Amino acid sequence: MKRILKKSLILMLIFCIFIGLFQTMSNAAGSSHSDQLMSFIKENHTDSTGAAEKVNSMSATIVTAIRIAATCVAVVMLLVLAMKYMIAAPGEKADIKKSAIPYVIGAVVLFGAVGILGIIEKFSTAVKA
């Protein structure tokens, strides 16, 4: 029974991968319509107030501040944990190692979020109104 379930799951996964490949190809073939739409928007829309540039610069400033603050928090947490480890007695070092695991996971999540913010910043500054 387990073999049949395993084989059927593998076949469904392969089927989903093939469907995904064909979907990507069909979307790539229709990209000329989106190019025509973007050129139409660029020709018929002008921003005379300069609001788009102000919003882009403000969002870039906010995202940069968040990125710097998040990096500083991660580095300070690492320094505190390292100092505790260096000062601790040999018996306490095992407890500090246990608390280092959530720090590492948190740091990975934090740096991942900072990276995503960087990507959002690049996309938001590339948008022209």
Q: pLDDT tens-digit profile of 91-115? A: 888 888 887 888 888 888 888 888 8
- Read off the pLDDT of residues 9-21 as tens digits, 9 standing for 90 and up: 777 777 667 666 6
Query: CB neighbours of 52 closer than 8 A, spacing ≥ 6?
Result: 127, 128, 129
| Maximum Cα interatomic distance, the chain, rounded to a whole number of Å | 71
Q: Which of 91, 3, 75 is nearest to 83 (CA)?
A: 75
Does the pLDDT value for residue 24 go beyond 60? no
Instruction: Give the pLDDT confidence score for residue 2 in this predicted structure.
Output: 75
pLDDT given at position 25: 47
